[in-house]
Amino acid sequence: MASRNIVLAIGIIVAIAVIAGVVLLTGGKEKPAAPEQPTTPTTPSTEQPQQPAEQPETQPSEEQPQEQPPETPTQPTTECKEWIELTVLTRHPADIQEQARDLFLESDLAKRYCVKDITFIAVPPGLWQTFIEKQNIDVAWGGGPTLFDLLFKKGLLKPLETQIALEAASQVPDTFAGQPLKRVKDGKVYWVAAAIASFGFTINTEVAQQLDYDVSKLKSWRDLASDDLGLILVQYNTPALAIADPTQSTSNTRIYEIILQTYGWDEGWRILTLMAANARIEQSSGLVRDDVIAGIVMVGITIDFYGYTAERINPACKYILPEGETIVNGDPIAVTISTKHPEAAEAFIAWVLTEGQKIWLSPEINRLPANPKVFETPEGQQRPDLRDAYYRAMQVKVIQFNDTLALEIETAMRQYFKATLVDEHQTLQQAWKRLLEAYYVEKKIDKATFEALKQKLTDTVEYKDPLTGEIVKFTLEDARRVNKILEQNPAVTEKYMSAWREAARQKYEEVLDALGG
C-alpha cells in the first residue's frame, strides 16, 4: 500500500514538472494573432461620371456618375511623436470652417497624421500671395479657379504627391459641364475642385409682387442693367438690385468676368456700369444674399449655393441661371509651397474630397459636391434637391470662358471697377437717376439725347496715365498693360485708381450738368 502511494506521488510530481516546463517555454501567453493588414483602396476612374439608372426628367443626356459612397483612403496608423496644427487659407465662411475643423479632427485621418487642430485664415484674395510667401500656410481652400490659377502661375502651389491624396483626387471628375475640375501640368495635380459652383442671380418674388414687377423679365445679366430696374430707383428712391465690391468678393469678381466675356469689353462695361447704377453695393457676397432673403432688394447676383440657401430660408426666393450667359466651375483646394506639414496637409485634402464632402449637404451650407459618390451615402440620400441641382448644373448651357484672359486683366479690372463704380457710386447713381427722370418722368429730353447721355455715362474712361502722363482709354489692351504693371509693382495701384476715379467723376458730373444739375 505504501509503495503504491509512493508511485502515485512520483507520478503527480512528474506531471507538475511537465506542465511547468510548458508554461516556461510559452511565457504563459497565447500566441498572438497576425496583425490585420491595411487595405489598399481601389483607385476610382477619373472619367466623366456615368448616368445613374433612374434620374428625374431634368437629367442631362451626357454620361453621369455611377455613384458609390466616397472612399476615404487609408494609411497604417503611426504613433504620434509630435502633434500638428494645420493652417488653412480660405474664402469659406465660418460655418464651413467650423464643420470642417470639428469633423476632420474626429476622423481617423487626423489621428493617423497627428493633427490636433486647424487654424483658418480668411482674408481677401488680394492678400493670399503675401500670406503664402510670408507665413507657413499648409492648405489653400476656396476662392475659385481664377484665384488658384493665379497662385499656380506664380509658383505658390505644391503638386499632390501622396497616394492618399491622389486616390481621393481621382474620385473627382476631370471636367464638369465642359470646365476643368483639376489643374494638371506635366502629369502633376496642383489643385482639385472640392465643390462645384455656378453663377446667377436670386430673386425675391414677394418683393417683385409688391413692386408689381414681372420677374419673367429677369432672364439675363442685361436685364439687371435695364431702365425698368432704374425706374424702381426713381419711383421708390431705393435700389431693386444688390451687387458686391469685387475687391471683397471672388464670386462677384467671377460674375463680372463672365459678363465681360459674354457681351464683349465695351458692351460688358456698359452693362456693369448700369448694374452698379441700379444697385446698392455691398462689401461681401454674403450681404447681397442676405439683402435678397430679407426683402431689402428684389434681386441680387449670387453664387449658386447662396441662391440655394436663400430658397431654403425664404421660399419666396428663386435662384436663376442666365441661360447661355454663365459658367459652372470647380472651387479648388491645394497645398501651398510654404507648408511645414505636407503629408498632413494632403491628408486633410484627401478627407475634404471624400468624407468631408458631406459638409456641402448641410442645409445651412447647400453646396454642390465635387465628388458625386457622396449622394449614395445616407446623408446624400437625404438631399435629392442638391442631387437634382447637380445634374441640372451639368447640363446647363454655358459660355466658353477664357481663364487665360481672366488672369490677364483680373487685377486691373477689379481695381477699375472699385475706383469708378464703387468709390464714385453716389455720383454715378445720382446721374443715372436724373437721366431716367428727365426722359421717362419729366419728358424734358428726347430719345436721341437720352441714348447719347446714357452712352457717355457708360463709356470706359479716358484718363491720364500716372506713370507716363499720356491720355489713354481703358480698353481691353490697356487693361492687359496696366494689369502687368500692378502685378509687378502693387505700390502704384492707388495712383491708377485715383486717375480712374477722377476721370469717372468728371464724366458723371458732365451728364448731370447736361441735365441741369
Do 259 and 278 have their domain in common? yes
Do 205 and 307 have their domain in common? yes
Predicted confidence band of residue 23 (pLDDT cuts 50, 70, 90): very low
- 386 part of a folded domain: yes
Do 492 and 417 have their domain in common? yes
Distance (Å, rounded) from C-alpha 184 to C-alpha 177?
A: 18
Are the beta carbons of 456 and 512 closer than 8 angstroms?
A: no
Distance (Å, rounded) from C-alpha 70 to C-alpha 73?
A: 9
- 447 part of a folded domain: yes
Which CATH number goes with the domain that contains 210? 3.40.190.10
The rounded radius of gyration (Å) of the Cα atoms in the chain is 30
Distance (Å, rounded) from C-alpha 367 to C-alpha 357?
A: 10
Are the beta carbons of 512 and 436 closer than 8 angstroms?
A: no
Do 177 and 256 have their domain in common? no
- 436 part of a folded domain: yes
- 62 part of a folded domain: no
Task: Give the count of beta carbons closer than 10 Å to the beta carbon of residue 244.
Answer: 27
pLDDT digits (tens, 9 = 90+) for 453-498: 999 999 999 999 999 999 999 999 999 999 999 999 999 999 999 9
Number of domains in the chain: 3
Give the end of a domain, one of 342, 375, 395. 395
Do 191 and 204 have their domain in common? no
pTM of the model as a whole = 0.74
Give the end of a domain, one of 297, 320, 343. 320
How far the first Cα of the chain sits from its last, in Å, is 138
- 175 part of a folded domain: yes
Give the structural domain span for 420: 403-515
Of 255, 357, 330, residue with least CA distance to 299? 255
Do 245 and 179 have their domain in common? no
Q: Which of these ranges, 298-302, 362-366, 479-483, has the smallest mean pLDDT?
A: 362-366
Do 161 and 208 have their domain in common? no
- 180 part of a folded domain: yes
Do 205 and 313 have their domain in common? yes
Do 101 and 176 have their domain in common? yes
Alpha-carbon separation of residue 474 from 420, 429, 478 (angstroms):
11, 21, 6
Stretch 86-109: mean pLDDT:
95
Do 206 and 217 have their domain in common? yes
Q: Is the pLDDT of residue 30 over 50?
A: no
Residue 179's DSSP bridge partners are: 176
Do 207 and 288 have their domain in common? yes
Give the end of a domain, one of 289, 320, 351. 320
CB hemisphere CA count around 393 (13 angstroms):
29
Do 150 and 227 have their domain in common? no
Distance (Å, rounded) from C-alpha 274 to C-alpha 269?
A: 9
What are the grid coordinates assigned to 8, written together? Answer: 502515485
Backbone φ, ψ for residue 302 (5° rounding): -145, 150
Q: Are strands 157-158 and 328-336 parallel, antiparallel or unpaired?
A: antiparallel
